[in-house]
Structure 1
Amino acid sequence: MKGDVRTDSISSSLFLKTARNSGVEKIRPYPRKWETHTINTVGELNLVAKQSSGNGDRPCEVRHDVPAVFFSTGGHTGNFYHEFSDGIVPLYITSQHMNRKVVFAILEYHDWWFTKYRDVLGQLTDFPIVDFNRDRRVHCFPQAIVGLKFHDILAVDPALMENATRRTMVDFHDLLDRAFAKDEKTDESSKRKPKLVIMSRKGSRELTNQESVVELAVDIGFDVEVLAAERTTDIGMMYRKLESSDVIMGVHGAGLTNFIFMRPKSVLIQVIPLGLRRHAENCFGKAAKKYGLNYIPYEIGVEESSLREEYDRNDPVLVDPKSITRKGWDITRKIYVDHQNVRLNLQRFRKSLLLAFEYCNSNRRTDG
C-alpha cells in the first residue's frame, strides 16, 4: 500500500486514500498460509482503498515519514522454532533492505516477545514498536507492507531478496552477532577440544540415556555442555554459547532451532525418532544444509524407541511408520511426536559422534 495510509485499530483496518476505485481486502498477516488451522487463529486486518474526498477522514494523530511493516505475533508464537521460522527470519527478509528506516506495527503484541527479541529488533528498526490492537491513535504512513515475506523454513533465498541485496542466512547470522555478541572474540579453536552442545528435552522425545551419551562424547574427545531452551531462556546467552561451539545435537524438537546461532561449517546432529524422518528433514535438515552446516541425521531403530514398550513388535507403528503418518498430522503427532522417547544405542551412535569429531578437526585444518 503506497500513498496516504492510515490506521484504525478499532475496526482492525488500514485505509489507503486513492483516486481510483474503492475496495476492501482482508488479510491475516502471518506466514503459514498453508496451515489452515493455524492461520484461522490469527486476527484479520482489513485493507480498505477509499476514494479521497476529505470528508469523514480521521485526522492523523501520529505522522511517520518511513514505511510500516504490519505483522502478527499470534499463531504459533510461544514456540521457539516458530518464533524464528514464522517470525524473526521472515521479518529480516521483509525489512532488512530498509536499513532500519521502518516502523513495525504488531498485531497480537506480547510484552514478553518484545523483551525476548528487543536486541534483534533494534538491528532492524530505529523506531518504537506500534502495538496495533491497543494503540487507538491514527498513525499515518507513506507506505505499508502488510504481512511478512517467507522463502522457506529457516532460510533466506538471496535470489528473492529486495533491491538485489543478495542476503543469505550467513548475513542473518551476522545480524544476530551484532545483536548478541558482547566481547571481542579470540580464536583459540586450535588449542581447545571441540565443543559439543546437547539440547536437552523433557516430556516428549526425551533422551533417556543422556548421561551415557555425555560420557561417550567426552571419551571421544569433546568438551560437552547440556543446555535446555525454555520460553524465558536468555537468547543472547544461548547465542554466545552456541556461536562458540562446534557441534549441536539433540532429538528432533524446537531446541534444534538454535543451530542458526552456530557458525557456518559447524555440525548439527539431529536424532530422528521413528515416524518423523520427513518432518525432521523439512524442519531442520534442509535448512541446516542450506546454511552451510555439516548435517548428520541419525535415524533411530525400533530398539531405540520407547514405542517398542507400548506396541507389539509387528505393529505397523513400529515396522511401517509411513502407513501411520499417511493418516495425517494429528495421528502422527499423537503417536510419534507427543508420546515417544529415545534411548540411543551407544555403539551405533558412536559413529555419528566420530564423524562430527572428524568434521571439527577438518575445519580446524582448513581454517588454520
Structure 2
Amino acid sequence: MTKSLARSLSKSHVGAGFLVGFFLVLLAYFTVSEQFAIRALNLFSQRSTEHEVVSTPSAKDVEQGRGAEKSNQLVELKPICDTSNPDFCDITGDTRILGSNSTVFYVPPPKITNPEPQEWKTRVRTHKHLKLIEFVTIKSLRGPSEAPPCTVRHDVPAVVFELSVQIGNIWHDFNNVIIPLYLTSRRFNGEVQFLITNLKPWFLKKYSVILKKLSRHRDFGILPNLPPKGYTMLDFRLFIREAYSLPKDVPISYRDKPEKKPRLMLINRGETRRLLNIEEVVKSAEELGFEVVVVEPKRDLNVTEIAKVVDSFDALMGVHGAG
C-alpha cells in the first residue's frame, strides 16, 4: 500500500524556496493592516485593520516598574535588533505595526532615554545582502506622538515573518520557514499571533496542521546553544510527530529479523536535480540490502499523507539543490 501511495505522487518540478529568516517577537501593543494580519485559527481570512499587541505585565514586571518609579532614574534604551548574522528583532513594550509599508514602530516608556530615533532594516536570513529582497523597517521613536494611532489591540505576543516567492518544496519550506518559526514561537505554547508580510494561501493550507499546532490564534541541523530555550532537532522531531499524529517509534532489530529489509525512500525530482541513472541507483541500493521505493513529489502534495509515508521508511535519499 505504501508503494502504491508513493508511486501515485505525480511528477512535477518542485520550486526552490527560502524564508525571510528574521522574526520579531512582539510582546506588547501593535497595529497591523490587511497585509499583515494572519490568524492561524483562520488561516485564510485577512483583516483590513491595523493591529496592536498588548502584553499583560507579570508580577515581577509590576514590581520592577514600581522600583523604577521610586528611583526616578532614566534608563538607556538598548538595541532592539541584532543584524550580525540572521536579522532578529525582539521588542517588548508599546509596539505598533503599519502593514501598508511594512514598518514596525516602538515607543519607549517615559523612563527610557532615546534622544535620537533609531532605525533597522531587516531582510531574508540567507540573502539579506541582496538589494532585490524586500525588507521590513523597524523604528524606535522618541514618544507616542510620533507613532500611528492604534485601531485594534491584542493581548498575545506576535511573530512577524515573510514568505519568499521562492518557497515551494518541502526541503526549503521546512529548513527556511517551519524550523525557524518553531524555534521562535514554540516557547509561547500556542499563545502567539502570526503576522505574515506577504500572504500565500497555498502555503498556509499546505502546512495548516503545523501552524495550528504552533498558534491557537490562527543542512537541517539545529544547534542547541543558538535557538531560544535550547530546542534541539529531537524536540522538533517529536513536535512534528505529535502534530501529524504519527505512531510511536518502535525500534526494529534487523539482526533478529534478517528476512526484513530496511526501507529506503529514493526521492527523484521531476525535472532539475533528477537522477538520470535511477535504475542503477535502485539496483545498487537493493544489492546493499534495502527495500527501495522511488517517490516523485509534487508541489501541492498532501503533507499529512506524505508524512505517514515518510515515517514508514528507515532512510531517505535524493539530490538537493535549488532549481
Fold shared by both chains (TM-score > 0.5): yes
The whole-number CA distance in structure 1 between the counterparts of 2:147 and 2:275 is 62
Q: TM-score, normalised on structure 1?
A: 0.55
Equivalent residue number for residue 282 of structure 2: 214
Give 1:85 deviation, angstroms: 2.1
Q: 1:121 maps to which residue?
A: 211
Partner of 1:174 in structure 2? 238
**Change over 3 Å in CA distance of 1:21–1:117 after alignment to 2:** farther
Q: Cα 1:124–1:54, aligned 2, differ >3 Å: closer, same or farther?
A: same
CA 237–189 in structure 1, closer or farther in 2 if over 3 Å, else same:
farther
Gaps of 5+ in 1: 129-152, 255-337, 339-368
Counterpart CA distance in 2 for 1:253 and 1:27 is: 29
Higher relative contact order (CA 8 A, sep 6+): 2
Name the counterpart of 1:2: 92
Q: CA deviation at 1:244?
A: 2.1
Aligned mate of 2:190, from 94, 100, 113: 100
Residue 248, structure 1, aligned to residue 312, structure 2:
no
Deviation at 1:198, TM superposition (A): 0.6
**How many percent of aligned residue pairs carry the same amino acid?**
29
Asked whether the 8 Å contact 1:74–1:107 carries over to 2, the reply is no
Query: d(CA) in 2 for partners of 1:157 and 1:17?
Result: 34
Report matched runs for 1:9-48 at 5 Å: 9-18=99-108, 19=110, 20-21=114-115, 23-33=117-127, 36-37=129-130, 40-48=131-139
Compute the displacement of 1:220 (Å).
Answer: 4.3
Say yes or no: does 1:157 pair with 2:247: no
Q: Could you tell me how far apart the structure 1 residues matched to 2:96 and 2:147 are?
A: 13
Aligned residue in 1 for 2:156: 66
C-alpha distance in 1 between matches for 2:302 and 2:146: 50
Specify the SS of the correspondent of 1:123.
helix
Aligned: 1:225 with 2:293:
yes
Structure 2 SS opposite 1:102: strand
Structure 2: runs of 5+ lacking an equivalent: 1-90
Aligned length: 225
1:215-246 Cα offsets, whole Å, 9 max, x none, are: 44345432221112222122222222222211
Higher strand share: 2
Contact 1:89/1:155, CA 8 A, preserved across alignment: no
Between Structure 1 and Structure 2, the one with more helix by share is 1
Q: SS of 1:27's equivalent?
A: strand
CA distance 1:3–1:251, change in 2 (3 Å): closer
Q: Who is 1:355 aligned against? A: none
Which amino acid letter does the alignment assign opposite residue 156 of structure 1?
I
TM-score by length of 2: 0.61
What is the distance in 1 between the residues matched to 2:319 and 2:99? 42
CA change 1:251–1:48 in 2 (3 A) is: closer
Distance 1:56 1:222, change over 3 A: closer
Which amino acid in 2 is paired with 1:174?
A: L
Question: The residue matched to 2:164 in structure 1 has which SS?
Answer: coil
Deviation at 1:124, TM superposition (A): 1.5
TM-aligned CA distance change 1:84 to 1:56, over 3 Å: closer
- 1:202 is matched with which residue: 270, 273, 277? 270
Q: Give, as a single letter, the amino acid of the residue that structure 2 aligns with 1:117.
A: Y
CA, structure 1 residues 6+22, in 2 after alignment: closer, same or farther (shift >3 Å)? farther
One-letter code aligned to 1:168: T
How big is the shift at 1:183? 4.9
Structure 1 residue 55: deviation in Å? 7.8
| Residue type of the alignment partner of 1:11 | N
- Post-superposition CA distance 1:223-270 (Å, at most 9, x none): 22111222212222222222221121223346xxxxxxxxxxxxxxxx
CA deviations over 1:86-130 (Å, ceiling 9, x no partner):
2111111222222222111111120011111111112211112xx
Q: 1:174 to 1:8 in 2, by over 3 A?
A: same
Letter matched to residue 103 of structure 2: S
